[in-house]
Amino acid sequence: MKKCLLAALFTGAFSLAFGQSEPTLHFMTNWWQANQTNPAFWPDEQINIGLPALSNTLFFTGATYGDALVEQNGETVLDVDQLISQLEDRNLVRENLRLETISAGFRLGKFHLGISHAVRFHAFLDYPKTLPQLIWQGNAQFIGQEIDLGHDFQIGSFNEFGVTGAYTLGPLTAGARVKWLTGLGDLSTEKGQASLYTAPEIYQLSFETDYLLHTSSVLDYNSYTDFEFDANFGQLDLSRLITRNSGWAFDFGVNIELEKLRLSASVVDLGSIRWTENVTNYSSQASVNYDGLDISLALTGDSVSLQEALDTLEQILVFDSTQNNYSTALPAKVYLSGGYEITPSLTVGAGLFGEWYREQFFPAGALNVQWRVLRWLQIGATYTVYRNTFFNFGVSGAVRLGPVQVFLLTDNLPAAFNPAGSRFFSARAGLNLAFGARTE
Amino acid sequence: MRRFFLFLLALSLFGCNHFDDLEGIETTGDDAEFAIPLVNTRASLKDLLESLDDYTFLDTSDAGLILLRYKGDIVTKTSDEIFANIQLALPPLIPVIDTAMALPFNTPEGVEIDYVELKTGIMQYTFVSYHEEDLTVKVKFPQAVKPDGEPLEFTHVVNYAGSTPVYPFPLFINYDLAGHKLIADTSGNLSIIYEAYRPNGERDTLSNFFVTVTNLTFEYAEGYFGNQIHDGERDTIFIEFFESWTQGDVYFNDPKIYVNVFNSFGVPTRSIVNIFDIYTALGNVLPLQADAIEDGIDFDYPLLTEVGEEKVTQFTFTKDNSNIDQVLGSKPIALDYDVDAITNPDSITAIRGFITDSSRYTVNVEVELPIYGRASGFQAIDTVRIDFSNFDAVSEVEFKLVTENNLPMEVKLQGVFIDEQGVVIDSLFSQSESLILAAPVDAEGEVLAPAKNTQYIPVGAEKFDRLRQAANLLIYAAFSTTENGTKSVKVYSDQDVRILMGMIIKTRD
């Protein structure tokens, strides 16, 4: 159990992620992938084909990789005490992974049309410090206290099939995208309230829950020591392009180019998925008190085993299960940005970004500069502020070799040099084919 | 899946291959301490004692004082045996050798039957006439009364047909005696009279006159039944209270042994004590001494006017009429007794009694130990199977014991862990610990207030490692009443002890 949670909070967390606005990408307005942040962004080429590309962002609070992993007798081990000591009262893990298989965009005069497919994986975990403390360090440290074990999480993946349309009218381009979503798997809480009180007398336990966990094709839970977690839903599987879990999402955006000034606004990922495939809902709404075994009969001769007491404790973590379909919303994002062309090869920009997810708002602000160093080489840099993290410097690099475009970017370059001390990781890499005359 | 994301993450971190280390990584610093409740129970002494063996019964006095009762087997004697003796008193074939004769009852020595009521019985008789003429024969039983109150008489006509001997017809006269009464004459005899008349009215005699009575059972008999012995049979009452005793002293303030007799024989009866010994845990055999054992106990019996009633006699051996406080204060583990009873112990024939077919004599013996007394270091030992082999992840534990005792009794405990071969591995404490304190009492032995105690019992890592080999825990429990057994206390049925136990488990990776 511990190992499993360790994977969820740390190993798993690295493979999950935080979100997720990708400001550096947003400011690369003349690249096909920037269209994902605003459907009104459209490259100059007549035809743009996006080949398989990958992006990933990860954010977490608490201990860093370097804090938690230590050398001991020549081996790298995970120092749980250190990991927990670095946690805040409430902690967050965000992951967003996007695997783009193919996309294409076409300029048809003033009309622009695009299609796309991507597999997206996202994860969210909001948990109190007391939860890993309880699991790894036990409840003895909380004798006489009621501790909050409430948490909120979602892990899910889905296919996204998009059709984008845009229209340019003078300096204004307005775009919209319709996305059909087919869910691959989901595990998410709707209600995650839980608390535990350990009485000082003889450690009587009071466990309060108001918990509702939904799963589609991910979890099969029988007891806390008997469950199956199928994490393969995040893999790219062409046989799972279409599932019975479906939903719709919409992106809207405008972009105005006034001489050297560019202003844009967009909202993306307004939508949800209805989960109907292999759905199970696990719920617990209980107030369970365990005061110890009444052994008054056993005192006269019958035997009572310690295992019996432990088995009784296990019964506390019993869930009711139902099979009711449910829905989950995508993390909606908003982008407000502007750019100013200082010289034909140098552009500066600024933007405000926000994301609503799991009833939380994640704001960000960024400054950017794009420099076309050579005709075939463009580089950029971004400074971003996320919540309480101020040391986020991103860079981008793009090369045009005829119709072939290759780009690589990150929103937090220091993490590449100091991954052991970082809590925010971001990277995107891609390959495009672009055809048609560019208008300089 | 994990590898897949680790791969992606490695890409995103521009070649940070350290994350591969997370696969199957060892952990440190995750030794946990879990606090869980183990026991939360409330038990009275009555609860604890109630599951003792089938011969132990709990009772309470009017004041609520707990009484331990140990009962022996119930011995019952019926009238069947006595009636069988009376039945045997009548010979199987009675020759009637005179026209008037007493039936030759051969009753047991000293038994004088005045009156009986027959439940069943078949009488047969026959005779022969050698007279060459007809005879009219009258057979009379003057002491036998038919159910309708008439005397039992028969008349037969024997017809001479030209040859002798002449037999009655039918040859054997059968008669059902059910419901008849037999009332002895003043000499205590039952007689038969026959009169044979010739046609001219002269009396004559008969030959080969025989009477048999079979299947004779009695409903009621009255008279003097002599000295009948009711064999009470030998029995042993085991007193489990002391079964596990190993050492210490116990003194019961007012122990008792009851001899209960239920008697519906209308006959004076007295006990004959053959054996009344107490076996102690020390191996001694102590005889109960009392005048009643030497002289016998006279049991009540119903008088002739109380037929059908059952008289109850309860004789109680107390510290005032016996040495019971000494013998029961010596850790008794069994009472061995053999008590018979004899009827008409003084052989006064003038006392006429009765028995019926439902008369019975029942006796049982009970030992009563009221929980009113004192105990000092009364130690019992018990063995509990244990197995810590499944607790590999546990490095050490600490038990917390909280007690709230309303009983005026202290419990000191020591546990000794032994392996399968009986080799001592370790002990629970360095020396016996008082885990449950006795409630204080007043001068009358009445509890004043509950005694509360909190005790921590640590079992360190080294010790717990040793205990993984343990197979049994020998528990030595020493019980002492308040003030170390120097003062007598009273234990009531509503007094209890609340025992709470929790533990903190320290785990290791």
Q: Report residue A17's pLDDT band, with 50, 70 and 90 as the boundaries.
A: very low
Q: Report residue B51's pLDDT band, with 50, 70 and 90 as the boundaries.
A: low
Facing B28 at nearest CB: one of A15, A72, A297:
A72
pLDDT at B70: 85
pLDDT digits (tens, 9 = 90+) for A249-283: 999 999 999 989 999 999 999 999 999 998 999 99
Contact B21 A69 (CB under 8 A): yes
- Which stretches does DSSP call E strand in A375-414? 377-386, 389-401, 404-410
pLDDT at A19: 43
Lowest mean pLDDT among A200-214, B95-109, B452-466: B95-109
pLDDT at A337: 97
pLDDT digits (tens, 9 = 90+) for A69-78: 888 888 888 8
Tell which wins on pLDDT, A370 or B466. A370
Identify which of B98-107, B136-145, B281-290, B366-375 has the greatest average pLDDT: B136-145
Tell which wins on pLDDT, B387 or A24. A24
Closest among B310, B259, B336 to B78, alpha carbons compared: B310
Contact A201 B500 (CB under 8 A): yes
ipTM of the complex: 0.78
Supply the DSSP string of A64-76, one letter for each residue.
-HHHHEEEETTEE
How far is CA B295 from each of CA B257, B271, B274, B278, B290, rounded to the nearest angstrom?
A: 17, 8, 12, 20, 9
pLDDT at B37: 87
A429 touches chain B (CB under 8 A): yes
Q: Is the pLDDT of residue A21 over 90?
A: no
Q: Is the pLDDT of residue B16 over 50?
A: no
pLDDT at A315: 63
pLDDT at B58: 73
Q: Is the pLDDT of residue B120 over 70?
A: yes
Contact A15 B9 (CB under 8 A): yes
Tell which wins on pLDDT, B207 or B432. B207
The CB-based long-range contact list for A305-310 (8 Å cut-off, 24+ gap) reads A306/B38, A306/B391, A307/B390, A309/B36, A309/B37, A309/B38, A310/B36
pLDDT at A310: 61
Q: How far is A76 from chain B (nearest CA, A)?
A: 7
Question: Looking at this protein, which amino acid is placed at residue B318?
Answer: T
Overall size of chain A counted in residues: 440
Contact B2 A426 (CB under 8 A): no
Tell which wins on pLDDT, A112 or B329. A112
Preceding peptide of B170 cis, ω within 30°: yes
B178 touches chain A (CB under 8 A): no
pLDDT digits (tens, 9 = 90+) for B302-314: 999 999 999 999 9
pLDDT at A11: 36
Rounded to an integer, the average pLDDT of A111-132 is 93
A144 touches chain B (CB under 8 A): no
Q: Is the pLDDT of residue A298 over 80?
A: no
Q: How does the average pLDDT of chain A come out, rounded?
A: 86
Q: Residues 31-50, chain B: which have Cβ within 8 Å of A?
A: 31-43, 47-50
A75 touches chain B (CB under 8 A): yes
- Helix residue spans in B352-415 (DSSP H): none
pLDDT at B330: 67
Contact A78 B28 (CB under 8 A): yes
Give the residue from chain B lying closest to A301, CA to CA.
B51
Rounded to an integer, the average pLDDT of A167-194 is 94
Rg of chain B's alpha carbons, rounded to an integer?
41
Rounded to an integer, the average pLDDT of A183-207 is 93
Interface test with B, best of A94, A202, A229, A411 (most B CBs within 10 A): A202
pLDDT at B53: 55
Contact, A29 vs A414, CB < 8 A? no
B19 touches chain A (CB under 8 A): yes
Contact A235 B51 (CB under 8 A): no
Give the residue from chain A lying closest to B7, CA to CA.
A15
**Residues of chain B positioned with their CB less than 8 A from the CB of A80:** 27-30
pLDDT digits (tens, 9 = 90+) for B239-249: 877 665 666 67
Closest among B363, B278, B357, B284 to B322, alpha carbons compared: B278
Interface test with B, best of A2, A5, A15, A119 (most B CBs within 10 A): A15
User: Which tokens belong to A310?
Assistant: 């432990």
Contact, A158 vs A245, CB < 8 A? yes
Interface test with A, best of B13, B383, B397 (most A CBs within 10 A): B13
B295 sits in which H/E element: helix B291-295
Task: Count CB pairs under 8 A between chains A and B.
Answer: 190
Q: Report residue B364's pLDDT band, with 50, 70 and 90 as the boundaries.
A: confident
Contact B34 A138 (CB under 8 A): yes
**Residues of chain A positioned with their CB less than 8 A from the CB of B502:** 201-204, 292
A65 touches chain B (CB under 8 A): yes
Q: Is the pLDDT of residue A157 over 80?
A: yes
Q: How far is B383 from chain A (nearest CA, A)?
A: 10
Give the residue from chain A lying closest to B390, CA to CA.
A307
A78 touches chain B (CB under 8 A): yes
Rounded to an integer, the average pLDDT of A181-195 is 92
Q: Is the pLDDT of residue B455 over 50?
A: yes
Q: Is the pLDDT of residue B1 over 60?
A: no
Where on the phi/psi map is residue A315: left (φ > 0), alpha (ψ -120 to 50), or beta? alpha
Q: How far is B481 from chain A (nearest CA, A)?
A: 20
Q: Alpha-carbon distance B70 to B256, whole Å?
A: 11
Contact B35 A140 (CB under 8 A): yes
Where on the phi/psi map is residue A367: left (φ > 0), alpha (ψ -120 to 50), or beta? beta
Identify which of A66-70, A264-268, A426-430, B362-366 has the greatest average pLDDT: A264-268
pLDDT at A295: 66
Q: Alpha-carbon distance A289 to B37, whole Å?
A: 11
Q: Is the pLDDT of residue B25 over 80?
A: no
Facing B42 at nearest CB: one of A296, A300, A420:
A296
Rounded to an integer, the average pLDDT of B233-238 is 87
Facing B37 at nearest CB: one of A81, A203, A425:
A203
Q: Report residue B19's pLDDT band, with 50, 70 and 90 as the boundaries.
A: very low
Closest among B224, B221, B188 to B109, alpha carbons compared: B224
**Residues of chain A positioned with their CB less than 8 A from the CB of B48:** 299-300
Q: Is the pLDDT of residue A63 over 60?
A: yes
Question: Looking at this protein, which amino acid is placed at residue A219?
Answer: L
Q: Is the pLDDT of residue A371 over 90?
A: yes
Contact B40 A204 (CB under 8 A): yes
Tell which wins on pLDDT, A150 or B487. A150
Q: Report residue A438's pLDDT band, with 50, 70 and 90 as the boundaries.
A: low
Q: Report residue B378's pLDDT band, with 50, 70 and 90 as the boundaries.
A: confident
Contact, A53 vs A91, CB < 8 A? no
Give the residue from chain A lying closest to B496, CA to CA.
A296
Q: Is the pLDDT of residue A8 over 50?
A: no
B27 touches chain A (CB under 8 A): yes
A69 touches chain B (CB under 8 A): yes
Q: Is the pLDDT of residue B231 over 90?
A: no
Give the residue from chain A lying closest to B52, CA to CA.
A300
Rounded to an integer, the average pLDDT of B346-372 is 89
Preceding peptide of B255 cis, ω within 30°: no
Q: Is the pLDDT of residue A144 over 50?
A: yes
pLDDT at A102: 93
Facing A299 at nearest CB: one of B28, B48, B502:
B48
Contact B9 A56 (CB under 8 A): yes
B393 touches chain A (CB under 8 A): no
Contact A416 B1 (CB under 8 A): no
Contact B1 A306 (CB under 8 A): no
A292 touches chain B (CB under 8 A): yes
φ, ψ for residue A13 (rounded to 5)? -65, -35
Rounded to an integer, the average pLDDT of A367-374 is 95
Q: Alpha-carbon distance A111 to A168, whole Å?
A: 7
SS3 B439: coil
Scanning the structure block, which residue is given the tokens 């370790």? Answer: B426
Contact, A272 vs A313, CB < 8 A? no
pLDDT at B283: 86
Give the residue from chain A lying closest to B42, CA to CA.
A296
pLDDT digits (tens, 9 = 90+) for A76-88: 888 888 889 989 8
Q: How does the average pLDDT of chain B come out, rounded?
A: 84
Q: How far is A44 from chain B (nearest CA, A)?
A: 28
Tell which wins on pLDDT, B389 or A50. A50
